[in-house]
Structure 1
Amino acid sequence: MEVKETNIEGCFLMEPRVFGDERGYFFESYNQEIFEKKTGAKPFFVQDNQSFSTRGVLRGLHFQKGQHAQAKLVRVLEGEVLDVAVDIRPGSKTFGKVVSNILSADNKQQMYIPRGCAHGFVTLSKTASFFYKCDNFYNKESEGGVLYSDPDFNIDWVIDESELIISEKDKVLPTFNEVVLD
């Protein structure tokens, strides 16, 4: 597995070694020992989540606060997305930094997003199945978010604004300057 550190401290882009032949392919999508050795992170994943979205669906930017913060290991099983993480950890040397990568079923890349980062993605293909592991359980009272179009981040979501499909809840999230972090 090839692991590259991103511009956010503790956030990594990973590309598995894929073995393919005329029958198809095989790859190890996760190995705790290799993951810890290459990243230095030691998450204990307790929850797997999966979503299905059509082109233009933007989900995010979401996070869990306090003791319910979550690290995530995300990947795409079908289709293609632009995956985005934002460091919202006060005191972090990469506080306020944004990283984005195209994750797809074809490139089989994964992104590890540490606790204290907001996360979101937009579906670039006709449809996409998005899968992620979390190192903490979801807690509704601890959920938070940052507006996807926050000018402080200037995120290029790749798709024209008129094509985005966004939940009402995500359309009214606060800007980064309005978010209360604890």
Structure 2
Amino acid sequence: MDDQHPKSLRVLSIYERLRKGEAISKKREAERFSVNEKTIQRDLDELRAYIAEMFQGLMELEYDRKKNGYVLKKDEEGWLTNKEILVVSKILLESRSLPKEEMDRILKKLIFQSHPQNQRFIQEVIQNERFHYVPLQHNQPLIEIIWELSSAVHTKRIVLIDYKKEGSDAPVARKVKPVGIIFSVKIP
């Protein structure tokens, strides 16, 4: 087996657990991966350099004496607060614009952007609204369509759409040059 393969799995495992808020002990990691503590220290040094470059001060890998291990410290500005997640979640849920699968996927990712200690709490706060979420009747995935239209707006590209007037049975093909995207729900 390639020597780099176990190292990459080891480093990714450590990084993923750090992102979940776990404290990483060099001794326990050395035992877990059957390597010495110097190897784990090199892994942590590589992760520290990666985090410093990618997150430019919003996150740092530090030793926490109370937890007796290395932890990922995120500047408070780097995490979404519970209040921010709640507001964005409510706006998304109340819009009823996305199919349930797309909505659930986005909310899961949004919650993951909160501090690991807060994730369970915010999940419980919006749980009832997620459960009772009733999407609009179109049942079409929209994320890809919205992305493509946004791209067409940005690049000033003409797109071909099928347009169906309300009350009409047959759609009409139209070439359009979109200039923006708005969302509107017609309430009967």
TM norm. shorter chain > 0.5: no
Provide the TM-score with structure 2 as the length reference: 0.22
* Greater relative contact order, per chain length (Cα 8 Å cut-off, separation 6+): 1
Answer 1 or 2: which has greater strand percent.
1
Answer 1 or 2: which has greater helix percent.
2
Provide the TM-score with structure 1 as the length reference: 0.22
Considering only CA atoms, is the larger Rg found in Structure 1 or Structure 2?
2
